[in-house]
Amino acid sequence: MSGKLGRAFSLVELLVVIAIIALLIGILVPTLGKARDTARRAKDSAQIRSIGQGANIQAGNNEGSYPIPSQIDISNSTVKTDNPQEKDNTGNIMSLLVWEDAISTEDLVSPVETNDQVEVYAGYQKKEPTQAEKPEFAAWDPGLAGVTLENAGGLTGTGRGRASAKGNNSYANLPPFGARRGLWRSDADASTAVFSNRGSIFSLDTNDNWILRPAGFVTGDKSNTLEFYDPLKSWGGNIGYADGSVEFSARPDPDRTGLVSTTNDKKIRDNIFVNETDTGASGNRKLPDRGVNNYLRPWYNIEVSSAGNINATPWDIEDRPNGQGGGD
């Protein structure tokens, strides 16, 4: 009984097969990467939309106003503060939405999050939260942290302290102070940005265009937020507006937010991460009760002076220049 062996591949044929496989990998890998990035961007957009929709649902029960913790925790059962407005930080606002089942804790952590110190708050307590001043009468779980390191002693508006040093939120919000409180509503103009991905720090160049801040104690290119979306040399992210829509913008001053008028007769584009001064420059960073332009950050450690002025710390790279809490 005899048999024949099949013809073996020649070296040339083997090299051709390897080249074809390498070519297919070169085509498929970028395609799969783009598909993954598209899916993450869509999920991120959906989460911001969910937060906005949750705020709008609450507005329907509150004469059009988005959640304001100080107006709900009147008895100081959840968080005890010297001034009620010190309760109105990002962590408490987001926790209120979770408490009312408007969103989940998973909705608060973006799929494009780059700070490894931000994680989902898995231990959210909807009944008698232990971090509250009087757990049996609490209106939300104050253990949820709007920023990293918010469990540090001496910070305002955290009740008995956040549950851990980790942050439980990826997103920025419009601060409900001063004239902006009038925009913290479901009936605000559709050009009003209310929730978004976090952003870096910016300054105006000689042509009055917004650029990543190139100089100073810390520069804008050091921000974690530039890694949310490509390219890494500029900011891009999802922005949620008062009408419930969410749009991706490759710049911090989208056309939709319009222009800011200045006292020197200039009109500059409204950067959602800058509290523009009267001259249009970047300023008033910790004074969210000044101005009425779009200005979104995660907020914490809110203090109110005897004159009623608000001083609040925005979570950005200027706040964390040495990488504390994973940076911004």
Where does the pLDDT of residue 264 fall: very low under 50, low under 70, confident under 90, or very high at 90 and above?
A: confident
- Picking from 128-132, 133-137, 203-207, which range would have the lowest pLDDT averaged per residue? 203-207
Domain that holds residue 120: 36-326
Residue 2 has pLDDT above 90, yes or no: no
Residue 4 has pLDDT above 60, yes or no: no
Sequence-distant (6+) residues with CB within 8 A of 36 are none
**What pLDDT sits at residue 250?**
96
**What pLDDT sits at residue 235?**
96
- With vertex at residue 97, the alpha carbon angle to CA 91 and CA 102, rounded to the nearest 5 degrees, is 150
Residues, the chain: 328
**What pLDDT sits at residue 6?**
59
Residue 13 lies inside a defined structural domain of this protein: no
In angstroms, the CA 284 to CA 85 distance is 19
pLDDT tens, residue by residue, 136-160 = 999 999 999 999 999 998 899 999 9
Residue 184 lies inside a defined structural domain of this protein: yes
Nearest to 201 by CA among 169, 172, 230: 172
Where does the pLDDT of residue 213 fall: very low under 50, low under 70, confident under 90, or very high at 90 and above?
A: very high
Buried b (16+ CB within 10 A) or exposed e, 191-206: bbbbbbbbbbbbbbee
Residue 124 has pLDDT above 90, yes or no: yes
Residue 40 has pLDDT above 80, yes or no: yes
In angstroms, the CA 291 to CA 277 distance is 8
Q: How big is the chain by its Cα radius of gyration, in Å?
A: 24
Residue 9 lies inside a defined structural domain of this protein: no
Residue 7 lies inside a defined structural domain of this protein: no
Number of domains in the chain: 1
**What pLDDT sits at residue 318?**
96
What are the Cα distances from residue 181, in Å, to 50, 116, 139, 188? 21, 32, 21, 10
Residue 46 has pLDDT above 90, yes or no: yes
**What pLDDT sits at residue 266?**
82
**What pLDDT sits at residue 7?**
62
Contact 193, 296 (CB under 8 A): yes
Residue 82 lies inside a defined structural domain of this protein: yes
Residue in this structure with the two tokens 């051709």, named with its chain if needed: 16
Residue 48 lies inside a defined structural domain of this protein: yes
Where does the pLDDT of residue 183 fall: very low under 50, low under 70, confident under 90, or very high at 90 and above?
A: very high
**What pLDDT sits at residue 210?**
95
* Residues 50-66, mean pLDDT to the nearest whole number: 96
Residue 5 lies inside a defined structural domain of this protein: no
Nearest to 328 by CA among 318, 253, 119: 318
Where does the pLDDT of residue 284 fall: very low under 50, low under 70, confident under 90, or very high at 90 and above?
A: confident
Query: pTM for the full model?
Result: 0.89
Residue 206 lies inside a defined structural domain of this protein: yes
Residue 308 has pLDDT above 90, yes or no: yes
**What pLDDT sits at residue 24?**
85
- State the SS3 of the chain: CCCCCCCCCCHHHHHHHHHHHHHHHHHHHHHHHHHHHHHHHHHHHHHHHHHHHHHHHHHHCCCCECCCHHHHCCCCCCCCCCCHHHHCCHHHHHHHHHHCCCCCHHHHCCCCCCCCCECCCCCCCCCCCCCCCCHHHCCCCCCCCCCCCCCCCCCCCCCCCCCCCCECCCEEECCCCHHHHHHCECCCCCCCEEEEECCCCEEECCCCCEEECCCCCCCHHHCHHHHCCCCCCCCCEEEEECCCCEEEECCCCCHHHCEEECCCCCEEECCCCCCECCCCCECCCCCCCCCCCCCCECEEEEEECCCCCEEEEECCCCCCCCCHHHCC
Residue 59 has pLDDT above 80, yes or no: yes
